[in-house]
């Protein structure tokens, strides 16, 4: 059996489809469906069982069994609201849950492949897997970094695979339920559905209008890294998962305009409430992932946006 936490979420549900494509259906999904809209991500996948997050956590006692051997745990579940400042809740959901899961996997010698976040690098320009680069600027990022740091202390005693992935800006099918936390690709597409303009932030942090840069990665590429780690249980550590190339928000907007064949860009004032807590530049340092043996390429913004919009609209772009 394979366990996928956050299986009803954005990345988790895409991972389920990829596992199904491999013939894997003996899957236990763990999630919190108080936001029932997420169930739409599970309607086209085949799984063996479902457990609520809290019920699953209550069963994670030393020596606990789930009825049959667990081959791997993909831990994608988390509170991903970067604007959430309830530190008590964030640490319970993102840090404590992960800590308990790590110890259960370690005791059972079950591979643990988990989602971290590039948000741990904060507003800095460096993304090396190094404590000197880690400067979180919100509670979400802090909760992710604390588990990464906890893992570093535990690694010498671990006998099974534990691999963390610091996701950069992921976009693709299955993210609509995230609302304000959905990718800019989804938001820009929605803006063109109701009008003819895409709204981008004016210049900030030394960047010109719309020229703030992020490492945008399609969810298919993120899933591919997850499955590669699963196929290579001898690989452990923390890895950046992005394309390795930053692109501007203008680039993303132009890719969407090109697909739809219409639209224009309008720049709006940079929000005051984001000052000091906004990443104006991200770019994955992939040296660790490449050194570990991952050699596959990544979709460009133009390729990825087209693939995503084709899935959203049910048509191929001209």
Strand-pairing partners, residue 5, are: 30, 75
Contact of 95 with 120, CB cutoff 8 Å = no
Find, among 149, 293, 281, 313, the residue nearest to 216 by Cα.
281
In this structure, are residues 11 and 218 in contact, taking their beta carbons and an 8 Å threshold? no
Q: Nearest-CA neighbor of 78 among 103, 59, 104, 96?
A: 96
Count of CB atoms situated within 10 Å of the CB of 290: 12
Residues comprising the chain, all counted: 318
Range 36-61 burial, b when 16+ CB lie within 10 A, else e: eebeebbeebebeebbebeebbeebe
**How open is the CA angle 9-17-35, to the nearest 5 degrees?**
20
Catalytic choice (121, 140, 171, 230): 140
Known active-site residue 38: no
- CB 70 within 8 Å of CB 110: yes
Expressed in angstroms, the distance from the first to the final Cα of the chain is 43
User: Distance (Å, rounded) from C-alpha 102 to C-alpha 114?
Assistant: 10
Catalytic residue chosen out of the listed positions 50, 178, 267, 294: 178
CA atoms within 13 A on the CB side of 189: 21
Contact 159, 109 (CB under 8 A): yes
Decide if 198 contacts 264 (C-beta within 8 A): yes
Q: HSE of 293 in the Cβ direction (CA atoms, 13 Å)?
A: 9
Q: Specify whether 140 is catalytic.
A: yes
Rg for the chain (alpha carbons), in Å?
19
Which residues are known catalytic residues? Answer: 140, 178
């Amino acid at each position: 059996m394979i366990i996928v936490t956050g299986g009803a979420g954005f990345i988790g549900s895409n991972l389920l489809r990829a596992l199904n494509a491999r013939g894997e259906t003996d899957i236990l999904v763990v999630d919190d469906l108080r936001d029932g809209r997420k169930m739409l991500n599970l309607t086209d996948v085949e799984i063996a069982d479902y457990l609520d997050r809290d019920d699953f956590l209550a069963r994670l006692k030393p020596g606990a069994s789930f009825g049959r051997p667990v081959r791997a745990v993909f831990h994608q579940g988390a509170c991903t609201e970067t604007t959430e400042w309830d530190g008590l809740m964030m640490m319970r959901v993102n840090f404590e849950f992960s800590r308990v899961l790590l110890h259960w996997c370690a005791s059972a010698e079950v591979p643990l492949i988990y989602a971290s976040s590039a948000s741990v690098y904060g507003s800095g320009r460096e993304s090396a897997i190094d404590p000197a680069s880690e400067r979180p600027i919100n509670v979400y990022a802090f909760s992710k970094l604390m588990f990464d740091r906890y893992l570093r202390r535990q690694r010498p005693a671990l006998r099974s695979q534990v691999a963390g992935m610091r996701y950069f800006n992921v976009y693709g099918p299955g993210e609509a339920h995230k609302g304000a936390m959905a990718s800019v690709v989804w938001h820009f597409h929605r803006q063109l559905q109701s009008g003819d303009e895409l709204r981008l932030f004016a210049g900030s942090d030394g960047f010109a209008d719309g020229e703030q840069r992020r490492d945008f990665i399609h969810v298919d590429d993120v899933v591919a890294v997850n499955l590669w780690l699963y196929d290579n249980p001898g690989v452990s550590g923390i890895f950046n998962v992005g394309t390795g190339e930053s692109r501007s928000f203008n680039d993303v907007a132009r890719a969407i305009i090109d697909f739809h064949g219409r639209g224009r860009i309008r720049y709006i004032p940079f929000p005051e409430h984001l000052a000091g807590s906004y990443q104006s530049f991200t770019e994955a340092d992939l040296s660790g992932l490449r050194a570990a043996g991952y050699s596959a390429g990544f979709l460009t913004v133009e390729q990825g946006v087209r693939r995503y919009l084709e899935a959203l609209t049910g048509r191929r772009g001209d």
